[in-house]
Every structure is written in C-alpha cells, then in structure tokens.
Amino acid sequence: MLSPGFLRFVNVLIGMNASERKAFLQFTTGCSSLPPGGLANLHPRLTVVRKVDAGEGSYPSVNTCVHYLKLPDYPNEEILRERLLTATKEKGFHLN
C-alpha cells in the first residue's frame, strides 16, 4: 500500500514541466537526464523515504551518490511542490 505522502509526491512529479523535471533529476541524482530506458535503468534506483522529525517548514534532502531522497511528510501537494522546487534550485551541499 502506498502512503498518502508518496502519492502526493507522484502527483507533484506528474504535474512538473520539462525544466522542473530536469531540475528535480539533477537535484536527486546529480545528472540532468535519465539513462537510455529511463527510470528503469537508473542505477542505483531512486529511493524515496520519509524524512523523520521534519515539519512542514523543512525541505527535502538528498544523497545523490545513491539516489536517495528524504522527503518530509507535507500535508498537501502545494507545499510539497513549493519546497521541492525550492530545494532543486539550491546550489552546493546545503540540502544533503
């Protein structure tokens, strides 16, 4: 069974335009494009986990080496989208 937070995350990804998806991919994997064959051929696979003890004001964080996204359990898609897009614009290692 998929959690409501994960379903909100999927809905936000579906609603992203091409440049937002590219920024998300760069943020989570360190690369701006998928390998041939798409996500199915991404190694290591993208792992999404709930960021423990993170409130609504927290931002997602990542470990790009292992494609690991730590996502707070936001109460709605609007907040999730805003925090995720803000995080993708950060440069450096502030959100790892």
Active-site hit among 10, 13, 31, 65: 65
Other beta carbons less than 10 A from residue 83's beta carbon: 20
Please answer whether residues 48 and 32 qualify as being in contact, where contact means their C-beta atoms are separated by less than 8 angstroms: no
Q: Which amino acid is at 35?
A: P
Q: Which residue has the tokens 């064959």?
A: 37
Please answer whether residues 51 and 58 qualify as being in contact, where contact means their C-beta atoms are separated by less than 8 angstroms: yes
Q: Is 65 a catalytic residue?
A: yes
Please answer whether residues 48 and 60 qualify as being in contact, where contact means their C-beta atoms are separated by less than 8 angstroms: no
Catalytic residues, by residue number, are 65
